[in-house]
Chains A and B, each alone.
Chain A
Amino acid sequence: MKLDSKIPSGPLAQKWDKHKFDMKLVNPANKRKFDVIVVGSGLAGASSAATMAELGYRVKCFCFQDSPRRAHSIAAQGGINAAKNYQNDGDSVYRLFYDTIKGGDFRAREANVYRLAQVSVNIIDQCVAQGVPFAREYGGLLANRSFGGAQVSRTFYARGQTGQQLLLGAYQALCRQIGKGNVKMYPRTEMVDLVVVDGHAKGVIIRDLVTGEITAHAADAVVLATGGYGNVFYLSTNAKGCNVTATWRAYKKGAAFANPCYTQIHPTCIPVSGEHQSKLTLMSESLRNDGRVWVPKKKGDTRRPDQIPEEERDYVLERKYPSFGNLAPRDISSRAAKEVCDEGRGVGPGGLGVYLDFADAIKRLGEDTIRERYANLFDMYEKITGENAYKTPMRIYPAVHYTMGGSWVDYNLMSSIPGLFVIGEANFSDHGANRLGASALMQGLADGYFILPYTIGNYFASEKQPKPKLDHPEFKKAMEGVQALTKKLLSINGKRTVTSFHRELGKLMWDKCGMARSAESLKEALKRIPELRAEFWKNVKVTGEGAALNQDLEAAGRVADFLEFAELLCLDALTREESCGGHFRVEYQEEGEAKRDDEHFAFVSAWEYQGPDKPPILNKEPLVYEEVHMSTRSYK
């Protein structure tokens, strides 16, 4: 496979403008002749579907939720970055670009990130015009706050519900187009296969989750906006329904999968309380502004936290990173928590947790100030744990939160299958090996509102591929494949539930390919995953029937894909013999810190499927930095 990133020539700051001019346009009257399928209705999916419909394309949008308003973008709390420099504190497009590249540990594509920073300012304008109720100052202007990895205040927010409000903005724009008849919305549907005709993506196979009916849909282009794959770890902060199925089935049709080993683990989540746990809940990182992280010095200390005297406490982050202290970046804080728990000094049930203690801040500022700052988070913590964090320290533990890897895309956000575009968290392009806070919302909306609607027109105007009819043999073949898979899952009738496999896979991934990875642990995982997969296909029990609402069957299909995908994730982690961002290999460290190897690993790993029993091919897209100098991150 030849990977052409199609980065425009010319100076970095002018690439996007130049490219916009160079791209071919589709005449307004001709736009209505093109059908586009959008899978997913989160920030990227809803914003792109609405915008393309406004331009005149005929859009079909599919989502597995019962309404497009429920996609998991809704759960983002913190905010959205934009280089507006409203605070007059020295922010600029270049600074946002540089912070993002550096935060990504120099593993992102320079031109994409620069464009992201450029369009960030348009996103805020667009959202304000839609009526997104961003926080305001008394003078009526927009308020900002600061966030991890940046020294300027460039984060816009709407209480603790920024993701929800941005998604409702995009959802309402989408609803407007549905009402006008320009978008046909299909809630409670799942994409189960991609259809490729003569090398171009020309349609999808869809399962109706209410009736179980399987239908084919043809189009001139397909857009995947299907989110990340964090649920391969079973427990993550993702919603229960989040899955890798769309991008994975596209991978098996030829869409290269890039950097699957770049997974982000968030340090401040509520710890697991038992085997029954179905998901993990994130507590905003802002808590670390006032909370102090500590564990007992003694192993297996089961005393209540208030019985442990000051001199018997280890304030881990303050000890290891005196200059950043409790505000050390996500990956570093997460690893520090894991280390002390591995030493047997973790707190709470199961010993997987560290304290985040607000006692000093409450003494210094008073309980009212802390309440003002974090009341909603303290309330949420109490709902879940039944503990009052004003009186006793919170317990936190890292959890999988976001996945930087995804389908490989070029500068036009097109995958290695022409006509298949991948946007938002589902692609790999902008965050490198680690994403900064408040940047996921920015990327989803940049792709959907301001990038894809341009680049897809260029594809239509240059390729002029005919849209196939639904009786084309490729559609028939894909339909039959899906039906056979459903039949097979329902006929195994083994002894283990789908969840038990998912849970076992997740635990394996977390232990062997989680916060710290080694050649040894990864090889063990690579041996165990195929065994587990084989057992799944022999011994899983899926109840009910195919032609009905069957949540067990839905889960089975997704877990089947995770069982394949997990292997690629581990393989990618094994071949990347360096530590960078969210990928920490214990063999590659210097005084406990991640050691990047720019000489040998400054590339994107784009994996190419070869067939069910053949190892995939690793294609490398070199990362060329024209503008920035690759430096080492240090937080000591």
Chain B
Amino acid sequence: MNLTLRVWRQKDANDPGKMVEYPANNIIPDMSFLEMLDVVNEGLIAKGEDPIAFDSDCREGICGTCSLVINGVAHGGQRGTTACQLHMRFFKDGDTITIEPWRARAFPVLKDLVTDRGAFDRIVQAGGFVSVNTGGTPDGNAIPVGKVESDLAMDAAACIGCGACVAACKNASAMLFVSAKVSHLSLLPQGKVEKNQRVLSMVKQMDKEGFGNCTVTGSCEAVCPKEISLNFIARMNREYGMATLKGADIKGRSGD
């Protein structure tokens, strides 16, 4: 099939950027969306033009690297699917497809469709962990965890940190991402010890990075390739409230 792409091109972080149209011809329905872009890029390189820069790595929906807004929807609108697992059979011959990067102040564009999501790493560095050193840990079975809590923690832990939630949110809020990590750890006995400190530190860093506030529209949940539930945001709000009341001290804390 033959398609028309409208792609965001931006030379570097300082370039204002613009949409550019490219034909994508002889596309096979079995191609993944990224393979379709590979084909277009091969054509551009052959003509000596700069190929479209986009992020991808595992191409099997688990690493969270790929990050495209396709026709206005983060990851393209197939439920529970990353852009790398979206296949061309969901498009029709003659379609025009618009491709943009994640758009959020906290995720600056580096080039074309590539953004800097370092803000997510810094939120985890602020407290998204259990403070244990290597060695000296008790036997794995010394800490029983109920299957229900364990399964729920796994639901939250499944987040791949792609940032689609931020890209979909009209406020560019990172609440779904942060709440998934906060919930994963506070649901488990290993993570309960530090739960007040953790939620305060992570939210503080989230605000510092320039993410917007949550107005519970649910757009994040709708695009999440791992279908992380909005309920985790409610859980985090509750935890945050409790932690604030208890007044845990987060001054000078860098996660020890």
> Measured between C-beta atoms, what is the minimum distance from A402 to chain B in Å?
15
> Measured between C-beta atoms, what is the minimum distance from A119 to chain B in Å?
11
- Contact of A276 with B137 at beta-carbon distance under 8 Å, contacts A65-B57, A131-B188, A543-B50 already known: no
> Measured between C-beta atoms, what is the minimum distance from A131 to chain B in Å?
5
Segment 449-495 of A: residues with Cβ below 8 Å from B = 449-450, 453, 495
Q: Count chain B residues whose beta carbon lies closer than 8 angstroms to a beta carbon of A.
A: 82
CB 8 Å contact bits of A171-185 with B (1 = contact, 0 = none): 111011011110001
Measured CB to CB, the nearest residue on chain B to A493 is B48
- Contact indicator A75/B28 (Cβ below 8 Å): no
- Contact indicator A50/B134 (Cβ below 8 Å): yes
> Measured between C-beta atoms, what is the minimum distance from B234 to chain A in Å?
20
Segment 1-60 of B: residues with Cβ below 8 Å from A = 12, 28-32, 34-36, 38-39, 42, 44-46, 48-51, 53, 55-60
Query: Which residues of chain A come closer than 8 Å to B131, judged between CB atoms?
Result: 176
CB 8 Å contact bits of B109-136 with A (1 = contact, 0 = none): 0110010111011001111111111110
- Contact of A140 with B145 at beta-carbon distance under 8 Å, contacts A129-B130, A453-B134, A541-B46 already known: yes
Which of B155-163, B164-172, B211-219, B237-245 forms part of the interface with chain A? B155-163
Complex partner residue of B137 from A129, A237, A543, CB under 8 angstroms: A129
Measured CB to CB, the nearest residue on chain B to A185 is B121
- Contact of A75 with B144 at beta-carbon distance under 8 Å, contacts A130-B129, A276-B31, A552-B51 already known: no
Query: Which A residues have a C-beta under 8 Å from some C-beta of B?
Result: 47, 50-51, 54, 65-70, 72, 74-75, 84, 86, 122, 124-131, 133-142, 158-159, 161, 164-165, 168, 171-173, 175-176, 178-181, 185, 187, 210, 237, 239-241, 273-274, 276-279, 281-282, 380, 383-386, 449-450, 453, 495, 497-500, 541, 543-544, 548-549, 551-552
> Measured between C-beta atoms, what is the minimum distance from B191 to chain A in Å?
5
> Measured between C-beta atoms, what is the minimum distance from B231 to chain A in Å?
17
B150 within 8 A of A: yes
- Contact of A122 with B135 at beta-carbon distance under 8 Å, contacts A139-B144, A175-B125 already known: yes
Query: Which residues of chain B come closer than 8 Å to A548, judged between CB atoms?
Result: 12, 111
For this complex, 22 residue pairs linking A to B, each with C-beta atoms less than 8 Å apart, are A51-B134, A68-B121, A74-B63, A86-B141, A125-B137, A126-B137, A130-B190, A131-B191, A140-B147, A164-B158, A175-B255, A176-B131, A179-B255, A239-B63, A240-B56, A240-B57, A273-B31, A384-B32, A495-B46, A543-B45, A549-B110, A552-B51
Bound CA–CA A159/B150 (angstroms): 11
The main secondary structure of chain B at its interface with chain A is: loop
- Contact indicator A67/B46 (Cβ below 8 Å): no
- Contact of A74 with B150 at beta-carbon distance under 8 Å, contacts A69-B121, A175-B125 already known: no
Query: Which B residues have a C-beta under 8 Å from some C-beta of A?
Result: 12, 28-32, 34-36, 38-39, 42, 44-46, 48-51, 53, 55-65, 78, 81, 85, 87, 89, 110-111, 114, 116-118, 120-121, 124-135, 137-141, 143-147, 150-151, 153-154, 157-158, 160-161, 184-185, 188, 190-191, 254-256
- Contact of A135 with B132 at beta-carbon distance under 8 Å, contacts A69-B64, A161-B62, A549-B111 already known: no
The 7 closest A-B pairs by CB, nearest first: A140-B144, A172-B129, A129-B137, A179-B125, A273-B30, A179-B255, A133-B154
